[in-house]
Amino acid sequence: MSQLSIAPATRPLRGTVVVPGDKSITHRALILGALAHGQTRITGYSRGEDCLNTLAVIRGLGINVQEIPTGLDVTGKGLWGLTESSNVLDCGNSGTGLRLLAGMLAGQKFFSVLTGDASLRSRPMGRVVKPLRQMGATISGRQGGDLAPIAIQGQELQSITYESPVASAQIKSCILLAGIFAKGTTTVKEPMKSRDHSERLFTYLEIPLQVDDCTVQITGLQSFVGKPIAVPGDISAAAFFLVAGSVVPGSELLLTGIGLNPERTGILDVLLGMGADIAILNTRDESGEPVGDLRVRATTLSGTTIGPELIPKTIDELPILCVAAALAEGETRITGAQELRVKETDRIHAMAVELARIGVVVEEQLDGLIIQGDSTLRGAVCKSYGDHRVVMSLAIAGLVGKEPIVIEDVDCVETSFPGFHSKLLDLLTNSK
């Protein structure tokens, strides 16, 4: 069992930060690159284990992917160019990978089995299996298909209109990918708009798509051609340094090339509302996504309210926002976040337990947390729950405590942010 010990910072964090490529966009770029005709060159892609597992699955389905100095060259074979794998397709820890791949494989003319690690095998898959079955897919799995491994016998699919009970980019994207192989027009309606990386990439690749607020429609059986895809820095990875730069006294960081998709910038909305000193610089557009640089300087934060309307835009950043809340002045309330209970772990419970362990006054609610700020953080040995975002959030807390925080079982950080600890150390060294 690996451990990470983070001692209180004795100097500010200073320097330029380059974070890994966006995981969500990397998954989608690999899948669409495989289905395109011709070459798709992907630069800036995430080298975290989650995306490398999706890459391995794509290769296992007969797609040639070459590593080059600047990224990946994916040689797509069109909608029907994939081949049946003789092996089970392992998605590791990635719910995004498994759910999106299920959408792609539902319309293929062969048999596939998707699985993952113990954490992924405990996460709900029925939310994508249900609409795929409505489209005509034949899918079986544990608990009636609600848990992986799931077996998919590809079929000729029919278009549907699906009203998703939750705002989820994974559900929406799964159905849209299946919709590529369906006759007619497939429609997905959400109660609130979720992140739209799929829609932007579909549009960039000229896949027929219509978007009207919370409703997306795709016309199936339309081939498309590969294009170069530049993957921006992952704002979910940047979030840890935005909070660190805000709470470690005297710090100033520049985060370059960060994706600023408006459905993902809830972290900026919340932190700016708490009084953070963050400037957005050098904005531009790359492969259909808005991108920019972020400069953050240390300042005093204030407590806030994060309600249901912000949850889709902050769902992955809520663990680190809990740390910001613990160090802010006053109380922070998070509500409407029950989706956190079905992530890599139950993140509501995990953050409540571990924050309390390091001295934060916190109350766990059914759909969120109430966190009292102005906390003096004490040293402790903390659990990771096998969740990369819990590890990195607790590591940032360790920078501003009175004693070191030791986090157990931290190998899971490799799923999204290889080299996270060394990057933190580099920023501390730069301030000497």
Active site residues: 316
Q: 352 and 385 in contact (C-beta within 8 Å)?
A: no
3-state secondary structure of 26: helix
Cβ atoms of 332 and 305 closer than 8 Å: yes
- Which residue matches tokens 């016309």? 219
Q: Cα separation of 246 and 299, whole Å?
A: 6
Place of tokens 């993957």: 231
Quick one: 94 exposed, middle or buried, by C-beta within 10 A (0-12, 13-18, 19+)?
A: buried
Q: Do the Cβ atoms of 298 and 250 come closer than 8 Å?
A: yes
The side-by-side arrangement of strands in the sheet containing 289-297 is 14-17, 252-259, 289-297, 277-286
What is the distance between the alpha carbons of residues 378 and 305, in angstroms, rounded to a whole number? 25
The order of strands in the sheet holding 3-6 is 3-6, 405-408, 380-382
Taking the C-alpha atoms of residue 387 and residue 76, their distance in angstroms, rounded to an integer, is 33
What DSSP state is assigned to residue 143? G
Compute CA distances 329 → 208, 266, 274, whole Å: 49, 20, 9
